[in-house]
Each structure stands twice: as C-alpha cells, then as structure tokens.
Amino acid sequence: MRVETKSAGILAATLALGILIGMLAQAGLARGRSRQVAALRGPPGFVAHMERVLELDGNPGAPARAILEATAERNGAIIGAAREALRAELDSMKRSLSPVLTDDQRRRLEDLEPLPDPFRPPPPRNGPPPR
C-alpha cells in the first residue's frame, strides 16, 4: 500500500469519526436543552426559573413572586388563545379545501395526523417528556 493511500485512508477515517462524535454530542445537547425547555413550560417552571435568575429568597421575594405568577398566568392565557386560533384556522382550511378535493384527497386530509403543538418541544424518541 502506498503512503499517499494510507494517509488518505487515515484522514478519511479521522473525518468520519469526527463527524460521528459531533453528531452524538449535538444530539445529547439538544436532548438536554429540550428537557430544560419542557421544564420551563410547566406551571411552576417559569416562576421557579425566574426566582433562580433573580435570586429571590424568602419573604423579600413575595411581591416579586406575585408579579411572576401573574405573568406566568397571562403567558398561559396567550399560549392557550394562540392554540385555539391555530386549531380554528386549520379547521377553516379543511372546510374550504373540501369542495375542491377528490374523495381520496379528502380522506388523506382527514387521516393526516394533527400538526404538532408549536408551543411544545417534540417528545424525546425514548418516551414522553418529563413532567
């Protein structure tokens, strides 16, 4: 085997190994980040996160906690309204499309899985997100 061929083989193997390690590392980081985001989306998540960021301790944080809880409640209402508006728009689209589609196309549209919730990260591949 020639030296150039050996060098090219070693270089290609090193590149492939680097790509593999990078992909695995990125997947691990993304999985951890989606868990963090899912935890923040839970009812106490936003308030608890903001309390940690602001370092609120005990009684002096009570007025700030009330503001954080009110904000979390309003945020939840905004997200709920957006979900409802999205569902209504998709239902309207289906009604508008129905007259112009064939029977087969209508069936495929009805069999289509609902769109994922844009306000929630996708569940990890190994099960549902932690609560």
Q: Which of residues 39 and 31 earns the better pLDDT score? A: 31
Report how far residue 72's alpha carbon sits from residue 49's, in angstroms, rounded to the nearest whole number: 11
Nearest to 64 by CA among 77, 49, 75, 54: 54
Rounded to whole angstroms, what are the CA distances from 113 to 13, 69, 124?
Answer: 41, 34, 18
pLDDT confidence of 21, banded at 50, 70, 90?
very high
Region 43-54: mean pLDDT is 78
Nearest to 30 by CA among 128, 116, 131, 123: 123
44 has a pLDDT exceeding 80: no
Q: What average pLDDT is seen over the chain?
A: 80
Beta-carbon contacts of 2 under 8 Å, excluding residues fewer than 6 positions away, are none
pLDDT at 1: 73
Whether the full predicted model's pTM is greater than 0.75, yes or no, is no
5 has a pLDDT exceeding 80: yes
Q: What is the pLDDT of residues 117-127, one digit of tens each?
A: 665 666 666 65
